[in-house]
Copies of this chain bind each other. A is one copy, B any other.
């Protein structure tokens, strides 16, 4: 059986998902594409023999659509996510789930009323082989428990319309989700610091930032967000355990010795770095939907990430003071 997927959002991320579903993954195909720009929807839909819609609502209502993939901007996710839940259809929604805790709470309510976890948030790192080995090491407990996590999110550069707030709500959002996942704990307080800025940035940007967060058990997370380093897309994550440290490897495929040294090339973009993780995410989602099952980050995860982002932005606005993260009690439904 082939899962009939409806895509909402015909931009770059949406087209990348179509590409992987059609050429690299098994078990699914894209049967409908919606975009506020109907021409864009048609441009993606036509080569696939898929239907084009101007709204997510129409696409969700289409009985030929088994499941929904949302790849629009975060600010407009909420109505489509809620509509998909109402329709009882599984939905893979790109991160962030929504951009306010109010909207996130609406999603949690709707999903609980629907009676099953229909929403997966597209935090693809959970499907990366390296992060999965980190998670396995934490679960195995061979090195005791974690006391600290050091994260680095380094980008070659960002465009002019990327804002200081995006360093938190877009970029650090990944580390917020993955640290919660790795540690199996909520983040309770957070602080954002602004060190000396690099000269390789647009003047409006405060770059780098350091986000410092603490979890329920006191694990301290720091995340260096450095988005104009010029040289590569370099994601680091080191778990400091009681009797050892475990970090993501250097993603080395070949190793060179030449005038530049003893070296391995560094990739330039998240597309290269997380190609396999994106594929695994969508593949496992297709498989899970077939089994009427949930996979990946849940709506609760999406809510918690938004809540931490809100606290972090409040800290940034207040000059770096520590801000408590406000979470509702976790419903048993999400246990």
Interface set of A (CB-CB < 8 Å, partner B):
22-27, 129-130, 133-134, 137, 143-148, 150, 193, 195-200, 208, 210, 212, 214, 217-220, 222, 224, 226, 229-232, 234, 240, 242-266, 276, 283, 287
Q: Please give, as numbers and ranges, the residues of chain B lying within 8 Å of A137 by CB-CB distance.
A: 254, 256
Contact of A208 with B255 in the complex, beta carbons under 8 Å: no
This chain: copies in complex: 4
> In the bound complex, how far is the Cα of B267 from the Cα of A261, in angstroms?
9
Contact of A219 with B246 in the complex, beta carbons under 8 Å: no
Given contacts A148-B208, A195-B219, contact A261 B265 (CB under 8 A): yes
Report A102 CB to chain B, min CB distance, Å.
32
> In the bound complex, how far is the Cα of B253 from the Cα of A134, in angstroms?
9
Contact of A199 with B263 in the complex, beta carbons under 8 Å: no
Given contacts A229-B243, A250-B262, A262-B250, contact A147 B255 (CB under 8 A): no
Q: Please give, as numbers and ranges, the residues of chain B lying within 8 Å of A27 by CB-CB distance.
A: 26
> In the bound complex, how far is the Cα of B134 from the Cα of A23, in angstroms?
25
Contact of B208 with A196 in the complex, beta carbons under 8 Å: no
Given contacts A208-B240, A242-B199, contact A254 B262 (CB under 8 A): no
Given contacts A24-B283, A208-B240, A261-B266, contact A130 B253 (CB under 8 A): yes
> In the bound complex, how far is the Cα of B210 from the Cα of A193, in angstroms?
15
